[in-house]
Amino acid sequence: MRHWIVVPAAGSGRRFGGGVPKQYLELGGRPVIVHALERLLRSDPAGLVVVLAPGDEHWPRLTGRDDPRILTAVGGVERVDSVRAGLALLAGRAAPEDPVLVHDAVRPCVALDDIRALLAAADHPGGAVLAVPVADTLKRVDDSGRVAATEPRAGLWAAQTPQLCRYGVLVAALAAAGAGDASITDEAAALEAAGHRPQVVPGRRDNIKVTWPADLALAAAILAAQEGA
Ligand code: C5P
């Protein structure tokens, strides 16, 4: 069964700060996004769409973007808008029943085994999502920095990417979510809002998302450990 991949990479990295968007920062000698793309391409997709910010100056200079399976689209205001743009480029290429993986450009440590485990869940009608059980105790914190409540941790999982869904089902779910909807932070949220119940596929803890500056050093250590394994 052939599959497709969409990689939203149109974020500006508001939380990370600094000038260069985090997907283009160097990690072990290569930009963050190049690690992610290499790992995704190893799953042998029929095509992979990278969704770029309008006027992105970094992508054209990137080595590692010349694989013939890579296509590019221009993203939108929120992540959900960028994913929608990536899926739109696949119209006429992907069949409605083809599985599509969506993976954040800023998760460079994703393991091929996890991608394969997710693809093995492609028959699930509501899609599938890699996730890990939450380990920390979760506090709700008010504006003054004080703990307002402790959230019960039982049954809570942290969703990662890739997330998987049949092309037709995902397009319909994202069409139903409004443009610029910042509350839809992953594909599973759009699928849930459309009445689906995505399957959780337990993932590896080292599939971290580079969000804060300290994550870069952590990602470098993870990549080094994976290469040594
Ligand atoms: O901002 P956040 O860390 O949730 O971004 C996750 C992924 O979504 C990143 O790869 C980022 O580049 C991408 N993104 C996007 N379009 C946006 C916002 C984020 O493609 N408007």
How would you write the pLDDT of the chain (229 residues) with one tens digit per residue?
A: 899 999 999 998 666 667 899 999 999 999 999 999 999 999 999 999 999 999 999 999 998 899 999 999 999 999 999 999 999 999 999 999 999 999 999 999 999 999 999 999 999 999 999 999 999 999 999 999 999 999 999 999 999 999 999 999 999 999 998 777 888 999 999 999 999 999 999 999 999 999 988 999 999 999 999 988 7
Q: Please tell me the predicted confidence (pLDDT) of residue 15.
A: 66
Residue closest by Cα to atom 11 of ligand 1: 11
| Alpha-carbon span 8 to 52, nearest angstrom | 7
| Alpha-carbon span 197 to 175, nearest angstrom | 17
Tell me the CA–centroid distance for residue 45 and ligand 1, in Å. 21
| Alpha-carbon span 136 to 113, nearest angstrom | 25
Tell me the CA–centroid distance for residue 105 and ligand 1, in Å. 8
Tell me the CA–centroid distance for residue 6 and ligand 1, in Å. 12
Tell me the CA–centroid distance for residue 56 and ligand 1, in Å. 14
| Alpha-carbon span 229 to 223, nearest angstrom | 10
User: Does any ligand 1 atom lie closer than 6 A to the CB of residue 180?
Assistant: no
Q: Please tell me the predicted confidence (pLDDT) of residue 17.
A: 67
Q: Is 98 within 8 Å of 110 (Cβ atoms)?
A: no
User: Does any ligand 1 atom lie closer than 6 A to the CB of residue 23?
Assistant: yes
Tell me the CA–centroid distance for residue 185 and ligand 1, in Å. 9
**Degrees (nearest 5) of the Cα angle 168, 172, 178?**
150
Give kind and range of the element (H or E) at residue 4. strand 4-9
Position in ligand 1 atom list of the atom nearest CA 13: 1
**Degrees (nearest 5) of the Cα angle 191, 48, 220?**
90
* DSSP-assigned letters across all residues of 100-166: EEE--TT-TT--HHHHHHHHTTTT-TT-EEEEEE--SPEEEE-TTS-EEEEEP-TT-EEEEEEEEEE
Question: Probe ligand 1: pick from 82, 183, 187, 209, max atoms within 8 Å of CB?
Answer: 82
Residue closest by Cα to atom 17 of ligand 1: 79
| Alpha-carbon span 227 to 229, nearest angstrom | 6
Structure token digits, residue 190: 């759009």
Position in ligand 1 atom list of the atom nearest CA 76: 21
Residue closest by Cα to atom 14 of ligand 1: 11
Q: Please tell me the predicted confidence (pLDDT) of residue 16.
A: 67
| Alpha-carbon span 176 to 172, nearest angstrom | 6
